[in-house]
């Protein structure tokens, strides 16, 4: 277009239908015939977006006008609804909606909006040469929505709010287009109109609040101005979104259903709006009770650094089922380098026999928004790089990225290791927030000119003794070291300091920062400062290094400063003070059994009362108590590790038997850090029969594991030597049990399976107080095998026991299991057994490994007891 072109002005009106967007594009293309191709393309794109906005939100006739003058193009899009202001939503590039005005901002030379009594006009100009004058922005003369009430949204998780807002707009857009095409999808037109209007009000208010300067991401409290009579419209919005969820699950929408976390947040949002408009007080998102799959708070949006900093094996995957982050602990567990895992499909870590089910479950999650395992501890195998299987407990949580996408963060806890500590998962809740129900009361307000409470400035002798007693109690109340240090840190930051940092040597002489606590838990990103520190060398001369060599407690009147010859460890310590905003500090060694194994740093923020020489004696007493607690916890962990290795060593190798498939699984409890007495065994008897046994010794400690090992050893010896009916073998085992110095109470099932490779197969079994065996046939029928029941071991060795006989069809599956697979608190045992029967029936034709893993995945999640499963399937050649 040349500068000498004469002025040209054309316009056309379009109805409020979705087809108007395409018609407006054709109108622009025709009107600009002969103009530069890039100008025509840009104009078409922006007009299409603005007409779509008008159709969706103004719902009136739209007029599009073009003027070509002096080497530039001016385009205006006018609707007939002056009372509806624009709603710039600042969505991310990944959002499916909300890009119209953002595109105008990026592509137009100038843009703006004008209002009037008859309507409002959004316009843009495209220039070819010379700098255009500045844009006027989106401010219009149109009055904003009337807002005579303000709803306060407390502790809004910003990333989750962004995700939910984008999802609402995407769903409403689809419903509006479907209704315009004659298919309302069951949504009343009046509800859809009200839902669109109030959703725009909510989005505009939240966006404006989030754009206030000086706000940090994470949890925010937002004011939301709304009309006093907006309650019915919000209820309509909720109804419409509920119907949309149903249509999305039926795959009648392009938008996917919301995940459980999103639905819970949206319900809370609507409850807060309608409740506060009716006069109720606000309720924080962080204190609302949640299901396991929905954590109650989101401290920070997704950050890959949280995964890398975690000491627990952790992997994160995106909505495309690809790994986006993995830490060193997870990579070592599975035989990879962390960088080699990133970018691979998640099925790389899933055994072959479970890949199809994983894909189906993941697809079902996205299509239905319903999940079986998120927020739960599930026992299953992971695939090692060398092809072997690694038994783990999987704990998955969802997090939202700052741009609205979902990330699935999974911890892989080796089966025989410590119980899951949910507070260690990035983004999960460590404890109730300040002032919340169930949490500690908010700290007293600081004195003027100080950054600490006045109470600790004047700590009396009784206060000091109480602090020492409380610190010992915090450490002694739990045998989990991480949890104990977190509790101790929270106590010290509430009573004595603003920051508490604990560094400990590991078994291989590395130095780990295991605990960083701030007196306000919301001021700290979980895991940000924790992790492995640089090597402690002779060149290290800073305060931390001096303490680790035995000096201290050391008083720092101000934060340490960098020096010319500082080591990496010294530099890291100086950087910690800078990032924490710490001033004065006391650093003291943690010493027990004549060796130093770590250091405690207590720091106070500048502006408050600084640490003085008078505080050193108290800190010295504190570190003695802290060191004793840490040493006891480590000794306990060493003992537990021995018990776990003992228990692992007792898990037998199953025999190879022609015509039989055998598989077994063992999963430690998800709720206890102790080992237990569950066991299984299978062996060949001298005459060719196959012995099958499963048992459960009472208890979850080292004594139970020792008793289990004694019973297991005696049992195999008795069974192989005597080769008697199962009832007689159990009687002899009970007699031997009573001869032990510390006899055990236990349940047990012993079965002898007879049959040639091609069958038939007969099972003889007897039970000592154990749940009955389950037989599932190939056609999906499942039943419990009756008979053979008797008193548990350790009660009466002279009691008469019985042996039952059953025939096993080819390709049927016999399952022996411990009660941890079925028993749940507050559930009748008959209901639990029926659940197992139905679940096994549905797996009748699955390969035996899949059968066993699916039993654990489906029934073993969150079990508070250990689980052992032994399965056998007659399979003729």
Which of 28-37, 77-86, 546-555, 614-623 has the least mean pLDDT?
77-86
Q: So what's the pLDDT on residue 421?
A: 39
User: Is 803 within a domain?
Assistant: yes
- pLDDT tens for 205-246 read 888 888 776 545 566 788 998 988 999 999 999 999 999 888
Domain-embedded: residue 449: no
Q: Are 407 and 425 in contact (CB under 8 A)?
A: no
Query: Taking each helix axis from N to C terminus, what angle separates 614-650 and 702-722, rounded to the nearest 10 degrees?
Result: 10
Task: Give the helix, strand, coil percentages of the chain, each rounded to 5.
Answer: 35, 25, 40
SS3 624: helix
Residue 712 CA to residue 215 CA, distance in Å, equals: 62
β-bridge partners, 693: 681, 750
Specify the CATH number for the domain of residue 19: 3.30.565.10
Give me the mean pLDDT over the 161-175 stretch: 85
Please say if the pLDDT value at position 460 is more than 80.
no
| 315 phi and psi angles, rounded to 5 deg | -135, 145
Shared domain check, 828 and 788: yes
Tokens, residue 95: 């959002």
How many C-beta atoms lie closer than 10 Å to residue 592's C-beta? 18
Whether residue 775 contacts residue 782, with contact meaning beta carbons closer than 8 Å, is answered with yes
**What CATH number is associated with residue 333?**
3.30.450.20
Q: Verify that 553 and 580 share a domain, yes or no.
A: yes
Q: Within this chain, do residues 852 and 718 fall inside the same structural domain, yes or no?
A: yes
At how many degrees (to 10) do helices 189-210 and 231-249 cross?
100
What is the CATH number for 465? 3.30.450.40
The residue with greater pLDDT, 730 or 35, is 730
CA 501 – CA 515 distance, rounded (Å): 6
Task: For residue 839, tell me if it sits in a domain.
Answer: yes
Nearest to 63 by CA among 103, 116, 104: 116
Q: Which region, left, alpha or beta, applies to residue 788 given φ > 0 means left and ψ of -120 to 50 means alpha?
A: left
Q: Is the preceding peptide bond at 760 cis, omega within 30 degrees of 0? A: yes
Per DSSP, what are the bridge partners of residue 586?
Answer: 555, 602
pLDDT in the model for residue 8: 66
Within 48-161, strands assigned E span: 62-69, 72-79, 110-115, 120-127, 149-157
**Helix (H) or strand (E) run with residue 640 in it:** helix 614-650
Query: Which range (356-370, 490-504, 715-729) has the least confidence?
Result: 356-370
Q: Is the domain of 315 the same as that of 283?
A: no
Would you state the pLDDT for residue 700? 66
CA distances from 578 to 303, 517, 575, 663 (A): 21, 16, 5, 56
Identify the bridge partners of residue 697 per DSSP, sorted by sequence position: 677, 746
Residue 433 domain flag: no
* pTM for this prediction: 0.60
Co-location of 155 and 120 in the same domain: no
Antiparallel, parallel or unpaired: β 120-127 and 72-79: antiparallel
Q: What is the C-alpha separation between 193 and 81, in angstroms, rounded?
A: 14
Is residue 846 one of the residues assigned to a domain?
yes
From 372, 399, 424, the end of a domain falls on: 424
Residue 225 sits in the same domain as residue 349 = no
- Residue 523 has a pLDDT of 60
Ranking 169-173, 305-309, 695-699, 867-871 by mean pLDDT, the lowest is: 305-309
Structure confidence at residue 801 (pLDDT):
92
Of the residues 640, 675, 692, the one at which a domain ends:
640
Top-confidence range, 14-18, 528-532, 580-584: 14-18
Q: What whole-number distance in Å separates Cα of residue 329 and Cα of residue 662?
A: 32
Mean pLDDT of 673-695: 85
For residues 706 and 679, is the Cβ–Cβ distance under 8 A?
Answer: no
Based on the domain organization, do 735 and 851 belong to the same domain? yes
Query: Above 60 in pLDDT, residue 455?
Result: no
Of the pLDDT bands very low, low, confident and very high (cuts 50, 70, 90), residue 376 is: confident
Mean pLDDT over the full length of the chain = 80
Q: Under DSSP, is residue 72 helix (H, G, I), strand (E, B) or coil? A: strand
Tokens representing 714? 């005696």
% of the chain with per-residue pLDDT over 70: 82
Beta bridge partners of 554: 587
pLDDT value, residue 156? 86
Q: Are residues 207 and 161 in the same domain?
A: yes
Most confident of 101-110, 549-558, 780-789: 780-789
* Boundary residue ending a domain (424, 449, 476): 424
Question: Average of pLDDT values for 51-55?
Answer: 85
Least confident of 80-84, 169-173, 375-379, 517-521: 80-84
Same domain, 656 and 634: no
Place of tokens 């609302």: 288
- What are φ and ψ of residue 761, in 5° steps? -120, 130
Tell me: do 810 and 713 sit in the same domain.
yes
**Is residue 822 within 8 Å of residue 776, measured between CB atoms?**
no
pLDDT of residue 723: 83
Domain count, the chain: 5
Q: Identify the top-confidence range among 547-561, 592-606, 684-698, 734-748.
A: 684-698
Lowest mean pLDDT among 134-143, 157-166, 588-597, 828-837: 134-143
State the pLDDT at residue 673. 44
Host domain of residue 156: 149-287
Residue 803, token pair as written in the block: 């042996």
Here the tokens at position 74 are: 């001016």
Rounded Cα distance between 797 and 768, Å, is: 11
Average pLDDT on 492-499 reads 85
Place of tokens 């007879």: 754
Helices and strands (DSSP H and E) totals, the chain: 21, 29
Q: Is the pLDDT assigned to residue 498 strictly greater than 80?
A: yes
φ, ψ dihedrals at 823, nearest 5°:
-75, 135
Tokens read off for 200: 């725009």
Region of 326 please: left (phi>0), alpha (psi -120 to 50) or beta: beta
Phi first, then psi: what are they for 645, rounded to 5°? -65, -35
Beta bridge partners of 631: none
Three-state SS at 298: coil
DSSP labels, 294-351: S-S--SS---HHHHHH-SS-EEEEETTSBEEEE-HHHHHHHT--HHHHTTSBGGGGS-
Considering the domain architecture, whether residues 669 and 791 belong to the same structural domain is answered as yes
pLDDT over 90 for what percent of the chain? 21
Please report whether residue 139 resides in a domain. no
If asked whether residues 502 and 555 sit together in one domain, one would say: yes
Decide if 404 contacts 166 (C-beta within 8 A): yes
Cβ-in-10-Å burial (0-12, 13-18, 19+) of 305 comes to middle
- CB 331: neighbour CB atoms within 10 A? 19
Q: Which residues contact 250 (CB under 8 A, 6 or more apart)?
A: none
Residue whose C-alpha is closest to residue 572's, from 533, 543, 530, 546: 533
337 CB-near residues (< 8 Å, 6+ apart): 331
332: Cα within 13 Å, side-chain hemisphere: 9
Strands (E), 358-404: 377-383, 389-400
The CA distance from 578 to 562, in Å, is 11
Residue 2 is assigned to a structural domain of this protein: no
11-28 pLDDT, tens digit each:
899 998 888 889 999 999
Confidence category of residue 873, pLDDT binned at 50, 70, 90? very high
Angle at 137 between CA 86 and CA 403, to 5 degrees: 65
Dmax over Cα atoms in the chain, in whole Å? 114
**8 A C-beta contact, residue 65 and residue 7:** no
What average pLDDT does this structure show over 366-379? 75
Average pLDDT estimate for 653-668? 90
> Is 447 contained in some domain?
no
Q: What is the rounded distance in angstroms from the CA atom of residue 419 to the CA atom of residue 416?
A: 9
Helices (DSSP H) in 211-327: which residue ranges?
231-249, 260-277, 304-309
Question: Residue 749: which H helix or E strand, with range?
Answer: strand 746-754
Paired tokens of 746: 């236990």
Tell me the average pLDDT across 682-696: 93
Give the tens place of pLDDT for each residue, 381-440. 899 988 888 888 888 887 777 666 788 888 887 765 333 333 333 433 333 333 333 333
């Amino acid at each position: 277009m040349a500068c000498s072109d004469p002025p040209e002005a054309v316009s056309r009106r379009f109805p409020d239908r979705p087809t108007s967007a395409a018609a407006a594009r054709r109108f622009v293309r025709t009107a600009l015939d002969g103009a530069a191709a890039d100008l025509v393309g840009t104009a078409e794109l922006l007009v299409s977006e603005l007409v779509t906005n008008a159709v969706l939100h103004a719902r009136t006739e739209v007029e599009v006008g073009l003027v070509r003058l002096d080497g530039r193009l001016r385009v205006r899009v006018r609707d007939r609804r002056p009372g509806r202001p624009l709603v710039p939503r600042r969505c991310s590039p990944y959002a499916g909606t909300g890009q119209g005005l953002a595109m105008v901002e990026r592509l137009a030379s100038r843009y703006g909006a004008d209002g009037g009594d008859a309507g409002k006009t959004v316009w843009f100009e495209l220039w070819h040469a010379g700098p255009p004058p500045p844009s006027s922005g989106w401010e219009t003369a149109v009055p904003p929505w009337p807002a005579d009430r303000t709803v306060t949204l407390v502790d809004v998780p910003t990333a989750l709010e962004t995700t939910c807002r984008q999802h609402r707009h995407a769903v409403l857009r689809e419903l509006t287009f479907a209704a315009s095409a004659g298919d309302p999808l069951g949504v009343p037109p009046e509800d859809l109109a009200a839902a669109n209007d109030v959703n725009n009000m909510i989005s505009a208010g939240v966006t404006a609040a989030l754009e206030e300067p000086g706000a940090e991401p994470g949890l925010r409290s937002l004011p939301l101005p709304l009309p006093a009579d907006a309650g019915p419209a919000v209820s309509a919005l909720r109804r419409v979104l509920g119907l949309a969820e149903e249509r999305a699950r039926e795959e009648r929408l392009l938008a996917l259903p919301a995940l459980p976390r999103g639905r819970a947040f949206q319900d809370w949002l609507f409850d807060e709006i309608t409740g506060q408009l009716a006069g109720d007080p606000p309720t924080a998102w962080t204190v609302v009770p949640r299901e396991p799959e929905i954590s109650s708070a989101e401290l920070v949006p997704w950050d890959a650094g949280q995964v890398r900093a975690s000491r627990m094996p952790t992997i994160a995957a995106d909505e495309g089922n690809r790994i986006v982050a993995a830490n060193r602990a997870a990579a070592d567990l599975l035989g990879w380098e962390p960088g080699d895992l990133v970018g691979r499909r998640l099925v790389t870590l899933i055994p072959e026999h479970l890949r199809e089910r994983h894909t189906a479950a993941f697809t079902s999650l996205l299509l239905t928004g319903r999940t079986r395992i998120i927020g739960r501890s599930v026992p299953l195998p992971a695939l090692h790089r060398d092809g072997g299987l690694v038994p783990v407990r999987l704990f998955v949580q969802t997090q939202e990225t700052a741009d609205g996408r979902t990330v699935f963060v999974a911890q892989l806890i080796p089966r025989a290791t410590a119980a899951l500590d949910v507070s260690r998962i990035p983004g999960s809740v460590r404890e109730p927030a300040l002032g919340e129900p169930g949490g500690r009361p908010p700290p007293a307000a600081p004195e003027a000119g100080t950054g600490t409470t006045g109470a600790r400035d004047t700590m009396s002798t009784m206060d000091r003794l109480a602090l020492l007693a409380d610190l010992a109690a915090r450490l002694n109340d739990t045998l989990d070291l991480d949890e104990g240090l977190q509790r101790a840190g929270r106590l010290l930051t509430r009573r004595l300091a603003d920051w508490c940092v604990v560094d400990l040597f590991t078994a291989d002489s590395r130095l780990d920062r295991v605990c960083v606590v701030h007196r306000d838990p919301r001021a700290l990103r979980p895991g940000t400062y924790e992790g492995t520190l640089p090597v402690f060398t002779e060149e290290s001369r800073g305060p931390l290094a001096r303490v680790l060599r035995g000096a201290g407690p050391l008083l720092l009147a101000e934060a340490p400063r960098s020096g010319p010859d500082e080591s990496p460890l010294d530099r890291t310590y100086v950087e910690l003070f800078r990032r924490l905003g710490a001033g004065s500090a006391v650093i003291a060694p943690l010493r027990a059994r004549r060796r130093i194994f770590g250091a405690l740093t207590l720091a106070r923020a500048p502006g408050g009362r600084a640490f003085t020489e008078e505080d050193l004696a108290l800190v010295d007493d504190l570190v003695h108590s802290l060191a004793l607690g840490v040493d006891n916890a480590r000794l306990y962990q060493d003992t537990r590790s021995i018990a776990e290795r003992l228990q692992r060593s007792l898990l037998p190798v199953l025999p190879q038997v022609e015509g039989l498939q055998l598989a077994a699984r063992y999963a430690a409890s998800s709720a206890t850090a102790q080992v237990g007495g569950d066991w299984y065994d299978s062996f060949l008897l001298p005459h060719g029969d196959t012995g099958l046994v499963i048992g459960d010794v009472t208890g979850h400690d080292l004594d139970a594991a020792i008793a289990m090992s004694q019973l297991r050893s005696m049992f195999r010896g008795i069974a192989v030597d005597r080769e008697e009916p199962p009832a007689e073998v159990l009687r002899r085992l009970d007699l031997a049990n009573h001869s032990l110095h510390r006899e055990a109470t236990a349940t047990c099932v012993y079965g002898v399976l007879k049959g040639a490779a091609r069958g038939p197969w007969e099972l003889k079994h007897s039970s000592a107080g154990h749940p009955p065996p389950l037989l599932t046939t190939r056609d999906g029928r499942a039943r419990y095998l009756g008979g053979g029941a008797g008193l548990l071991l350790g009660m009466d060795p002279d009691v008469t026991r019985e042996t039952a006989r059953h025939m096993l069809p080819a390709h049927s599956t016999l399952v022996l299991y411990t009660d941890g697979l079925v028993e749940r608190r507050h559930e009748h045992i008959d209901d639990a057994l029926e659940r197992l029967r139905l679940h096994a029936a549905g797996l009748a034709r699955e390969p035996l490994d899949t059968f066993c893993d699916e039993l654990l995945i489906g029934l073993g999640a969150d079990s508070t007891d250990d689980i052992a499963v032994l399965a056998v399937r007659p399979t003729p050649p």
